[in-house]
Amino acid sequence: MAAVYPPVPAGPGRYGKTVFPPGQAGEDERIDLGALAYDDVSLARMRELGAGPGWRCLDVGAGTGSVARRLLDELRVDGVLAVDRDVRFLAAHPRSGLEVLEADVCDPGFAPGRFHLVHARFVLMHLPARRELMARLAGLLNPGGVLVLSDAADLTTDAVPASPYTVALQAMWQGLRDTIGTDVSWVPRYPQLLRDLGLASTAAELYVPPLVPGSPISRFWAETWDRAREAMTATGLVDDADVDAAIRYLGSPDCAAMSPGMITAWGSRPAAGEAVTSG
């Protein structure tokens, strides 16, 4: 690989510890609401990239395992290794071809060149050592293997009308940054970062799920804000009443806002003699 990044010092807290602990009642349901909003898009991209029979896949930060199971059931890959720091949700849904490993994604300890597909969604944005991890994940690809990374794109700008939703969303991003080091500002750089690592055919796409009352993504944000309210209110940008107002707004017919988008970027490890190009 062309570039190796040094580790970034860890922040004061961690996803799954400081916020969104998996032991909290209903956390698996919150994760699955996100899966309902994004899984179809993720699977369609991996299908376009060739995932199918004969492929050995790694799903990093696999959550409840929805992507891993669909890789097996719909794309018919040979096997999926699903990795997470807490595998209680994965272990609850065993599946032939699904291997579960409880490990820290920042130090997976796998041999290089093992996988046809390495996938991580909404993982790197929460990790201060994101660049180092990106390089490690790229190194796990076999020649021709594909790295697929998805993270959030914040679409709230000064041009977006203020609403209970935008106020809460901005407080959430700031609160997560303060507590666990979440940073989505660098996500649009993914294609260039992947190219810097020596990957070929790098490209990216943006998906924005419709934010309508009762939709999976609206319910996901309501659950997320309720669980992250301590981090949000600690910023001083909102108080509990503001968070409650934003949650009500999500379920209101007056809701007129855009959900954060999901940027998916990908690149492949060149085979011998293959030129590095961008898509």
pLDDT in tens, 205-220: 999 999 999 999 999 9
The tens digit of pLDDT for each residue in 2-52 reads 333 333 344 458 887 888 988 899 999 999 999 999 999 999 999 999 999
Domains of the chain, CATH where assigned: 27-268 (3.40.50.150)
Residue with tokens 């690149």: 267
For residue 267, count other CB atoms closer than 10 A to its CB. Answer: 29
pLDDT band at 190 (very low <50, low <70, confident <90, very high): very high
- State the Cα–Cα distance between residues 229 and 213, nearest whole angstrom: 21
For residues 243-248, average pLDDT: 97
Q: 163: closest CA among 251, 245, 62?
A: 245
Instruction: Give residue-wise pLDDT tens across range 107-120.
Output: 656 666 789 999 99
* Per-residue model confidence (pLDDT) at position 109: 64
Query: What sections of the chain are H helices per DSSP?
Result: 27-48, 66-73, 88-91, 130-139, 164-180, 190-196, 216-227, 229-234, 240-250
The total of other beta-carbon atoms located within 10 Å of residue 131's CB is: 20
Q: How far is CA 6 from the centre of its chain?
A: 22
Q: Tokens standing for 275?
A: 């030129």
CA-to-CA separations, 63 to 56, 89, 217, in angstroms, rounded: 19, 7, 17
Residue 231: pLDDT band (50, 70, 90) is very high
- Return d(Cα 183, Cα 187) in angstroms, integer: 8
Q: Residue 55 carries which side chain, given as an amino acid letter? A: W
Q: Quote the pLDDT of residue 128.
A: 84
Question: What is the residue type of 190?
Answer: Y
